[in-house]
Amino acid sequence: MNKIKLVVKEAFYLIKRHKLLFLLPFLILLAILTILAIELGPAVVVSFIYAGV
């Protein structure tokens, strides 16, 4: 868990330093989708792939 916090902290530092604030919504959405995929399991992800979404 410590490594995850370190990666997130460094990512936000790079975003602030290099003025990449437009990437922030995409990263937040990616994080939410990742958490949902982990919590709900791979069956949900596979169903979206087969559905062509």
| CA dist., res. 35 & res. 15, Å (int) | 21
Whole-number mean pLDDT of the chain? 81
Whose CA is closest to 24, among 13, 40, 34?
A: 13
Query: What pTM was computed for the model?
Result: 0.54
| CA dist., res. 20 & res. 33, Å (int) | 21
Question: Residue 27 has which token pair?
Answer: 């990263």
pLDDT digits (tens, 9 = 90+) for 13-36: 988 898 888 888 888 888 888 887
Burial of 45 (0-12, 13-18, 19+ CB in 10 A): middle
